[in-house]
């Protein structure tokens, strides 16, 4: 419980006191309640665990299946609309913003939800579907849809999500600034414009000859 409270205090500048976090942060409340429902799920009281998670969803707006595995120091900011599926795994220190879905892609059995690494930041409204693996220190831009594995330390944005940054630089520890996420489509258009300009210059030289 304290790892979730400390994560909120460290990552949210609006968090002023641990008591405020306990009483007024639905994401933290949902994570703490999940620990309880997960315990009941593991000892075989699965129906009770599901009912408990249903009650928690009603009060917090966060739906976490009791079987999901959530690491320490995870922070769910705002919380409204967050859905974490049955076989999902979330690594230590991950930050999840409102409206995020860690969902499945069908009715198949077994592992069917994402595995999220450590220190990941998932922007508001992002959707990650299927048994994909999201590497450590990945940043997923707001509104992105991730359908494939993502390697460690990169930034992905778009629908479907594309790698927008892979330069080996150390990942910033501050929360994701959604205004600062590069758009790979805009970057590509800029590259095409540069290519067209260079071709036009080459044509001009040939015409001059």
Q: Is 99 exposed, middle or buried (0-12, 13-18, 19+ CB in 10 A)?
A: buried
Could you give phi then psi for residue 205, rounded to 5 degrees?
-65, -45
Domain carrying residue 131:
2-178
Q: How many domains does the chain have?
A: 1
Residue 95 lies in a domain: yes
Residue 38 lies in a domain: yes
Residue 100 lies in a domain: yes
pLDDT by 10s per residue, the chain, length 209:
889 998 999 898 888 899 999 999 999 999 999 999 999 999 999 999 999 999 999 999 999 999 999 999 999 998 899 999 999 999 999 999 999 999 988 777 788 999 999 999 999 999 999 999 999 999 999 989 999 999 998 999 888 888 887 755 544 444 555 555 566 676 778 788 888 888 888 888 888 76
First to last CA, the chain: 75
Q: Are strands 155-157 and 162-165 parallel, antiparallel or unpaired?
A: antiparallel
Residue 74 lies in a domain: yes
Q: What angle do CA 33, 121, 94 make, to 5 degrees?
A: 40
CATH code, domain with 160: 2.160.10.10
Residue 116 near residue 130, CB atoms below 8 Å: no
This prediction's pTM: 0.76
Place of tokens 């994570």: 31
């Amino acid at each position: 419980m304290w790892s979730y409270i400390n994560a909120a205090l460290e990552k949210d500048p609006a968090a002023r006191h641990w008591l405020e976090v306990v009483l007024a942060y639905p994401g933290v409340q949902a994570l703490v309640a999940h620990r309880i429902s997960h315990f009941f799920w593991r000892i075989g009281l699965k129906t009770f665990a599901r009912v408990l998670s249903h009650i928690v969803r009603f009060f917090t707006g966060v739906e976490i299946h009791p079987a999901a595995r959530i690491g320490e120091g995870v922070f769910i900011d705002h919380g409204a609309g967050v859905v974490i599926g049955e076989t999902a795994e979330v690594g230590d220190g991950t930050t999840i913003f409102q409206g995020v879905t860690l969902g499945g892609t069908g009715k198949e059995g077994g592992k069917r939800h994402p595995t999220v690494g450590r220190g990941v930041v998932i922007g508001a409204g992002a959707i990650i579907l299927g048994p994909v693996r999201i590497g450590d220190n990945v940043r997923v831009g707001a509104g992105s849809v991730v359908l494939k594995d993502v390697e460690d330390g990169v930034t992905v944005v778009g629908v479907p999500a594309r790698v927008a940054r892979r330069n080996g630089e150390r990942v910033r520890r501050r929360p994701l600034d959604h205004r600062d996420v590069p758009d790979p489509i805009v970057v590509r258009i800029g590259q095409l414009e540069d290519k067209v300009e260079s071709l036009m210059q080459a044509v001009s030289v040939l015409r001059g000859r």
